[in-house]
Amino acid sequence: MTEKDYLRTHSTPASDALQWLERETHIRTNHARMLSGHEVGSLLSLISELARPMNILELGVFTGYSTICLAKGLAEGGVIHAVEINDELEDLIREAYGRAGITDRVQLHIGDAKKIIPELDCLFDLVYIDANKREYPEYYRLVFDKVVPGGLIVADNVLWDGKVFQEPVPEDGQTRGIAAFNDLVAADPRVENFILPVRDGLSIIRKLS
């Protein structure tokens, strides 16, 4: 038995809707590795359930796995604003939301997050970033003032397969974007943060009161 198998068999299993979505993502897309998956998804659910957010902003939906996980902790009447740039995924995303029973709690925005974020007229208790890695620093700057004091920003892939701590750091735009984001957060006196080495790294950032 592998470590991954052991962790799965000793953790609460994914819901039927999430198991269906994982299968469909492998069948209907060419980038199934982008799926949040059970490990990260379970942690997102736990964070959301502890925070009990009224408003969540999700940047980078892919096929909707992370949205379903985040929705578990929504407060009564709460809403997730989910932003995805790839309009070809919309049908699968909406089907997944329907199977999970969260359609009425999600506002799906198809388009460029950098244009959509400034148009959102609400404050967020929880922000999840898993979109274009090159744009992570810009996402952080755009969302910061929209996060309530004490609110959380969670960013995925911040270890980027170990590339961010290679010397020298690779020159590709994605690695540079994530490295710049990590440096930006670490130097920001307005927050406290901790990077969890879960899968490809999750940065848990709390905006100070």
Residues 200, 133 contacting (CB under 8 angstroms):
no
Query: Taking Cα atoms as reference points, which of 51, 43, 33, 10 lies closest to residue 152?
Result: 51
Residue 160 CA: distances (Å) to CA of 22, 102, 198:
22, 30, 11
Chain-centre distance for alpha carbon 68? 11
- The phi, psi pair for 98, rounded to 5°, reads -65, -45
In degrees, rounded to 5, the angle at the alpha carbon of residue 106 between the alpha carbons of residues 62 and 40 is 45
Which residues, 6 or more positions from 157, have their beta carbon under 8 angstroms from its beta carbon?
Answer: 130, 133, 178, 200, 201
Q: Are 113 and 83 in contact (CB under 8 A)?
A: yes
Predicted pLDDT of residue 209? 87
Say what the pLDDT of residue 36 is: 86
Cα distances (Å, whole numbers) of residue 139 to 13, 33, 76, 100, 177: 32, 22, 27, 28, 11
Report the pLDDT value the prediction gives residue 206, as an integer from 0 to 100: 98
Give per-residue burial for 156-195: e unless 16+ CB within 10 Å, then b: bbbbbeeebeeeeeeeeebbbbbbbbbeebeeeeebebeb
pLDDT tens over the chain, length 209 residues: 888 788 878 999 999 999 999 999 999 998 888 888 899 999 999 999 999 999 999 999 999 999 999 999 999 999 999 999 999 999 999 999 999 999 999 999 999 999 999 999 999 999 999 999 999 999 999 999 999 999 999 999 999 999 999 889 899 999 999 999 999 999 999 999 999 999 999 999 999 98
Looking at residue 100, its pLDDT comes to 98
Q: Where are the alpha helices (DSSP H) in the chain?
A: 3-9, 16-28, 37-51, 65-71, 90-100, 113-116, 136-144, 173-186
pLDDT at 9: 86
Backbone phi, psi, residue 192, to 5°: -125, 145
User: φ, ψ for residue 100 (rounded to 5)?
Assistant: -85, -10
Q: Residue 122: its pLDDT value, please?
A: 94
**Residue 5 confidence (pLDDT):** 82
Alpha-carbon dihedral sign for residues 135, 136, 137, 138: positive
Neighbours of 93 (CB within 10 A): 23
Q: What is the pTM of this model?
A: 0.95
Calpha distance 113→75 (Å, rounded)? 24
* Ordered domains of the chain (ranges, CATH): 3-207 (3.40.50.150)
